[in-house]
Structures are given as structure tokens and as C-alpha cells.
Amino acid sequence: MNKENWLKRGYVDEPVAQGLDLKAEIRKLCKEKHAVILGHYYQSDEIQEIADFIGDSLALAQWAAKTDAEIIVMCGVHFMGETAKILCPDKKVLIPDLNAGCSLADSCPAEAFAQFVKDHPGYTVISYVNTSAAVKAVTDVVVTSTNAKQIVESFPADEKIIFGPDRNLGSYINSITGRNMLLWNGACHVHEKFSVEKIIELKKQYPEAAVLVHPECKGTVAKLADKIGSTAGLLKFAMASELKDFIVATESGILYEMRKKCPEKNFIPVPPEDGASACNECNYMRMNTLEKLYLTLKHEWPEVKVDEEVAKKAIRPIRNMLEISEKLGL
């Protein structure tokens, strides 16, 4: 065991015996250690296959809040692990690779955001879940793309609101609610890459297709959408639709569950503007691999840690989100 090397890398760097049945070993370790694997829709197919539960960011937080497992392995990105840890301070929360960050969360440094909040007294602060625990600590309510509209609308129409960090989701919510929230200028590098041109090209090939767009995409892309929604929202739309073809503008991991739930339908991922044939994958989400997942469970490392003082402040806006979502039946 070379822990120094692991620390340097941010994941367990240990050779795995050739021919080892990783999936069987992972299931065995989960049982022995009373661990649960939560996976986001943007994980690789093989991780989604082995996870106990897969879902969008809201569902992952809801699941973490109610699990009685002793160990939670978050197959997602770091802020998802932090949210689980804040909700379950007494549990061990593991993540297969500590480097699995998020460009959107990084576009909102905690100190600068806290200053922005200070500069606008009298504003209610609504933050997207894709933020660090320190940003959540200066937030009133956390939202995800599944519940953002309803949570914003739960405030009086004249409420002065700061919304961070995603400018695309924020402008979209402003446009559908008629609000004028003050927006933080952040964005996700994966969703910003979707272009109008690529969608129009695909639309020529599949004229009957519905265009499914995540609200983290730019407004020009969202204008082409038949449905704008969170990963869970897009999946639900595809399942209920009579149509056969769907052009999907979000991270391509969601196609695994779409194809599983609707094997008779055709899901076409929109390629990024700078790569002719590649799919849009989140390099952070894809840092988690089956091998790293196995090693994480084996060594119970790396663990997601949140500063206790920060966690004490960040739990309130997360709980506020869960309570409002429950009331709204989300």
C-alpha cells in the first residue's frame, strides 16, 4: 500500500489482478460492508449497471438522505459527495476519484460568491446544487434543474433573488417565471459546447425527432428544444412520448437509461461543436471507473470530507430544498 501515492493521485493507485470479476467483487464488498452505490446518469454504462441506484442530482440527494447503509459510494462528482456527507455526517461517504470536480461549481469560488451576497443585502440566495459546500453555506435554498422553477416560484413575485452559479439555467428560469433574478456568471463547459449548428444538422437527418435539451445549455440551443429539462425530466419526457427519434443535448451518459427504458426508440447524442463524431462526455464524471470503484470499496478511500463549520451552515439550504421538493411531490 503506497498511501502517499494515492494522496498524490486522489484515488487508489493499485494494480488489480487480471481476470478479476470486478462487478462480482464490488457486489460482494457492498454486502460485506453494508455499502450502497449511488450513481448519476452521466456515469459510464458499466457503473450505471452496477449501481444500487441511479438518478439525477435531486434523486441522489434524496436517496442519500434516507439510506440506512453505513457507507455511501458516490459515483458522481465531488459536490454530490459533499451533499451526501452534509446530509449524513455520521456515514462514510466515498468517491472513486477525488479529482471528479465540476467546471460549473468551479466557476463560483466561495469567497467571491460570499462577497457578491454581502454586496446585495436583502436578497434571497438560491444556489444550484452544482456548488461547493462553502457556497451552499451562504445560500438560503439549494435547487436542482428538476425543482428550480417550482422553488423560485415558491417565493413572492417581488422577492429579490440572487441565483448562482449557472447563467444559462438562471436565464431560463427567469424567462419561464417572469422573474428578474440577479445571475452569477457561471457555466458548465460540457453543456456550453452544444451548438445550434449541430442540432440543425441532426434535425435535417431526423426531421421527426424531438430535441431534448438540458437547461445548462446556452439560450440559443434551448430555443430549439421540444423539451427542456433535467436528466430525469428528459428521460420522463422520452418515456411518455409517442415519437420514435430523440436528439439529446446533454451528457451522453443519459442515453444508457433512455435506451434501457425505451429500447424501441432511437436516441441520437448531439456531438460537441469542436468534435465531429465524439459524444459530449463530462471528463469529471468519467474519472470514475469500475476499477477505481472496486478499489475505493476495498480500501474505503478516498473519503469525502466537509469542514464541520461549513457543513453546519450548508445543511439548512439543502434541507430547505428537500422539504420544498417533498411538499411539491418532486
321 binds ligand SF4 (CB under 6 A): no
Distance CA(217)–CA(194), nearest Å, equals 7
3-class DSSP assignment, residue 287: helix
For residue 42, the one-letter residue type is Y
**Out of ligand SF4, ligand 13P, none, which partner does residue 231 contact, by CB within 5 to 8 A per kind?**
ligand 13P
Which region holds residue 252: left if phi is over 0, alpha if psi is between -120 and 50, else beta? Answer: alpha
69 binds ligand SF4 (CB under 6 A): no
**Out of ligand 13P, ligand SF4, none, which partner does residue 69 contact, by CB within 5 to 8 A per kind?**
none
Q: Which stretch binds ligand 13P (CB under 6 A): 20-28, 55-63, 289-297, 317-325?
A: 55-63
Nearer to ligand SF4, 69 or 81 (CB): 81
DSSP label at residue 166: B
Which of 29, 47, 77, 94 forms a contact with ligand SF4 (CB under 6 A)?
77
For residue 228, the one-letter residue type is I
Distance CA(303)–CA(328), nearest Å, equals 33
- The strand order across the sheet containing 161-164 reads 141-143, 124-128, 161-164, 182-183
127 binds ligand 13P (CB under 6 A): no
**Out of ligand 13P, ligand SF4, none, which partner does residue 56 contact, by CB within 5 to 8 A per kind?**
ligand 13P
Nearer to ligand 13P, 27 or 149 (CB): 149
Where would I find the H helices in 181-289? 196-205, 219-222, 231-240, 254-261
C-alpha cell at 278: 465524439
194 binds ligand SF4 (CB under 6 A): no
Distance CA(177)–CA(287), nearest Å, equals 36
Distance CA(113)–CA(138), nearest Å, equals 8
Q: How far is the CB of 60 from ligand 13P (least distance, A)?
A: 8
Where would I find the H helices in 67-156? 78-87, 103-106, 110-118, 133-136, 148-153
62 binds ligand 13P (CB under 6 A): no
Which of 145, 252, 289, 296 forms a contact with ligand 13P (CB under 6 A)?
145
Closest C-alpha to 284, from 51, 80, 37: 80
Nearer to ligand SF4, 152 or 190 (CB): 190
Q: Which stretch binds ligand 13P (CB under 6 A): 24-32, 112-120, 141-149, 299-307?
A: 141-149
Which of 36, 152, 285, 315 forms a contact with ligand SF4 (CB under 6 A)?
285
Residues 179-198 that bind ligand 13P (CB under 6 A): 188
Element holding 313 (H helix, E strand)? helix 308-327
Nearer to ligand 13P, 36 or 188 (CB): 188
Distance CA(121)–CA(116), nearest Å, equals 9
Residues 196-225 that bind ligand 13P (CB under 6 A): 216
Asked if 256 and 55 count as a contact pair (C-beta separation under 8 A), the reply is: no
3-class DSSP assignment, residue 8: helix
**Out of ligand SF4, ligand 13P, none, which partner does residue 284 contact, by CB within 5 to 8 A per kind?**
ligand SF4
230 binds ligand 13P (CB under 6 A): yes
132 binds ligand 13P (CB under 6 A): no
257 binds ligand 13P (CB under 6 A): no
Binding site for ligand 13P (CB under 6 A): 41, 56-58, 130, 144-146, 188, 216, 230-231
Residues that bind ligand SF4 (CB under 6 A): 77, 102-104, 130, 188-191, 216, 251, 282, 284-285
